[in-house]
Amino acid sequence: MSGTEGNRAYGRKPFRRSKSHFTDRITADGRDGWPVEPGRYRLVVSRACPWASRVVISRRLLGLEDALSMAVTDPVQDDRSWRFTLDPGGRDPVLGIGFLSEAYDAREPEYPGGVSVPAIVDVPSGRLVTNDYQRITLDLATEWTALHRDGAPDLYPARLRDEIDEVMADVYEDVNNGVYRAGFATDQEEYAEACERLFRRLELLTERLGNRRYLVGDTITEADIRLFTTLVRFDAVYHGHFKCNRWKLTENQVLWAYVRDLYQTPGFGDTVDFDHIKRHYYQVHTGINPTGIVPLGPDLSGWLTPHRREELGGRPFGDGTPPGPIPEGEEVPAAGRPPEKGTGRGTT
């Protein structure tokens, strides 16, 4: 694929998110030909990407790190899209490829669509299985249960699914995708409409989260993961780069505390790389940031401050337990994390 999401979108047409093309599912019964199996598949992500980050968080919360290995791409694509330049020799050590597009081509030669993350690749054949970002996390929660860790939370409880789906649909339309519609708008009206809807929805979510710790029920669910991955990027990229600047998250007491609470919950913040996030958005979308300059701010030190959301009650993991430490080799480098107290490390 040539070009990138941002640059493709910077034309005369309104921003439209393309449908995921490969929608095979990896299931317990293997009905699409892809049974759940430990060690068989490789998850390919960019830590910059909010859709991929959902999967990174779910995989951690559910303790699937050993069962489903993970490849992290360079946050900055080139004209062949996502690449494994962070790995020795520029190749993913498990798949042996330099570009994610090779797995797409192995699945469908001359595949004409975009190469996107998250993607799951079948290791033995090197073929892409799915890039269906709306489905992958739901399947990790409901189809991969045999491989979940002891104490894994139920992220998509059957009795709450209708409510979770409803919340997620609004969050998707106005927030997850809303920031992109605002950022890649090509006329004033389109931008204003997306921006109005985004902030209207954020106000409604503020009301909802004012007296309850999580979006649905009293535990963390898929709905929180999906809202988190947009909110955690808000001040760093959406506020400036995408012009979603009616207010900053740090100016909204409720949402700022909500997102900090999640950030400080094992499995959330320990997957976030602010350095990858900023470099990807500001350097790749040259249509809306032609100089490619990456801003130095914002100051990240607030992410680790007390949030006091535990006073609202709630049981983050329900009857389960938090995940253990990040597996060796998957730690986010210091450049992508807020400065630890007393280190005097900078703001980026």
Residues 10, 15, 34, 51: which binds ligand GSH (CB under 6 A)?
51
Residues tagged in the binding site annotation for glutathione = 82
Q: Which residue among 41, 49, 214, 244 is the active-site one?
A: 49
Measured distance CA(244)–CA(251) in Å, rounded:
13
71 with 92: CB under 8 angstroms? yes
Identity of residue 151 = G
Nearer to ligand GSH, 116 or 221 (CB): 116
The type of residue at 63 is G
User: Which residues, listed in sequence order, are joined to residue 136 by a DSSP beta bridge?
Assistant: none
Q: Which stretch binds ligand GSH (CB under 6 A): 22-30, 112-120, 217-225, 299-307?
A: 112-120
Q: Would you count residue 2 as binding ligand GSH (CB under 6 A)?
A: no
Which residues make beta-bridge pairs with 83?
99
Contact region with ligand GSH (CB under 6 A), list: 15-23, 63-71, 141-149, 295-303: 15-23
Catalytic residue among 10, 104, 133, 180: 180
**Which position has the token pair 């032609």?**
290
Indicate whether 18 belongs to the interface with ligand GSH (CB under 6 A).
yes
Stretch that binds ligand GSH, among 60-68, 109-117, 186-194, 254-262 (CB under 6 A): 109-117
CA dihedral (52, 57, 60, 61) in degrees, to 10, reads: -140
Is residue 180 flagged as an active site residue? yes
Q: What are phi and psi of 202, to 5 degrees?
A: -65, -35
Residue 81 binds ligand GSH, judged by CB under 6 A: yes
Residue type, 208: R
From 69, 101, 116, 230, residue interacting with ligand GSH (rule: CB under 6 A): 116
Is residue 77 near ligand GSH by the rule CB under 6 A?
A: yes
As measured in angstroms, the least distance from the Cβ of 65 to ligand GSH is 22
Q: How far apart are CA 76 and CA 297, in angstroms?
A: 19
Q: In the bound complex, what is the minimum distance in angstroms from residue 328's beta carbon to ligand GSH?
A: 27
At 130, phi and psi to the nearest 5? -150, 145
Name the one range near ligand GSH by CB under 6 A: 16-24, 31-39, 162-170, 268-276. Answer: 16-24
The answer to whether 137 contacts ligand GSH (rule: CB under 6 A) is no
Is omega for the bond preceding 118 within 30 degrees of 0, making it cis?
A: yes
Task: Give the separation between CA 227 and CA 261, rounded to whole angstroms.
Answer: 13
Contact positions vs ligand GSH (CB under 6 A) = 4-5, 17-18, 20, 49, 51, 77, 81, 114, 116-117, 131, 133
